[in-house]
Amino acid sequence: MSDERVHLESATSFVELQLRGTRLQHAFGPLGGPPRVRIEAPVEPARLADRVRKLERKGYRVGFHHAELEAAIVADPGDPARRLVFADWLLERRDPRGELITRMAAGVGIEEHLAAFPLHLAPPWMAALELEWHLGFVRTLAFREHFDVSLLSRIFRHPSFMVLEELALCDLQWVRAPALRQVLQHRPSSLGRIDARGIPALAELAREIPGFLA
């Protein structure tokens, strides 16, 4: 039986979707306020991902969010203590990222945990990416093929990339500067290195964006 729970938040409200078999429960309301609940059945398990994607397009982000704790991590990505404080807060709310952070801090394998919570941690579209995890978040990301700017935009909105430090765009001759420039306006502040060497069409961005190599 399918049994998956996904919590999402916007700046002012939350939605929590819980799928049990073919029964989908929607809980929603203002942040910190009482939820309203709606039941939908029967629902195909694949529809859960569709609902999450629609909410993301409306500005919702997967997971529980704490502005101050997240800002502290972004301000000093190399400090593990800040991530562990955030992990404790997440664990209290049964957010799987809390366990991901603590597993990585303890040197425990994470593949099974990532697979168990794909919508929270590692959606299917991440499978085609080359990435390195560090204490609950992706630290480095490389595109080798099948790159499109819309995917990069989605990446920048996903919590797993909140403290992304390095991005590599390798030998992708057809990437164009105007579209990439627009998406990079929304890059995480932690992103200090963008390696686009070998892509002449992006050379102009090296003069505009700190850490951009072309």
Residue that finishes a domain, picked among 45, 62, 79: 62
Question: Closest Cα partner for 63 from 112, 100, 35?
Answer: 100
pLDDT for position 132? 95
Domain range enclosing 12: 3-62
Residue that finishes a domain, picked among 46, 62, 78: 62
pLDDT per residue over 93-144, tens digit each?
Answer: 999 999 999 999 999 999 999 999 988 999 888 887 899 999 999 999 998 7
Note the Cα 200 to chain centre separation in Å: 29
Kindly state whether residues 103 and 195 are assigned to the same domain: yes
Q: Which of 41-45, 70-74, 100-104, 193-197 has the lowest mean pLDDT?
A: 41-45
- Pairing, β 23-30 against β 13-20: antiparallel
Kindly state whether residues 147 and 182 are assigned to the same domain: yes
Kindly state whether residues 203 and 105 are assigned to the same domain: yes
Kindly state whether residues 110 and 41 are assigned to the same domain: no
Kindly state whether residues 23 and 106 are assigned to the same domain: no
Which CATH number covers residue 28?
2.20.140
Kindly state whether residues 43 and 99 are assigned to the same domain: no
Kindly state whether residues 47 and 80 are assigned to the same domain: no
Kindly state whether residues 43 and 121 are assigned to the same domain: no
Kindly state whether residues 108 and 174 are assigned to the same domain: yes
Say how many domains are in the chain: 2
* 1 confidence band (pLDDT: 50, 70, 90): very low
* 92 confidence band (pLDDT: 50, 70, 90): very high
Kindly state whether residues 81 and 181 are assigned to the same domain: yes
- Does the reported pTM lie above 0.75? yes
Question: Closest Cα partner for 96 from 160, 33, 156?
Answer: 160
Kindly state whether residues 149 and 49 are assigned to the same domain: no
pLDDT for position 200? 81
Q: Looking at residues 168-192, what average pLDDT do you find?
A: 84
Kindly state whether residues 81 and 134 are assigned to the same domain: yes
Compute the mean pLDDT over every residue in the chain, rounded to the nearest whole number.
Answer: 90
Residue that finishes a domain, picked among 62, 80, 107: 62
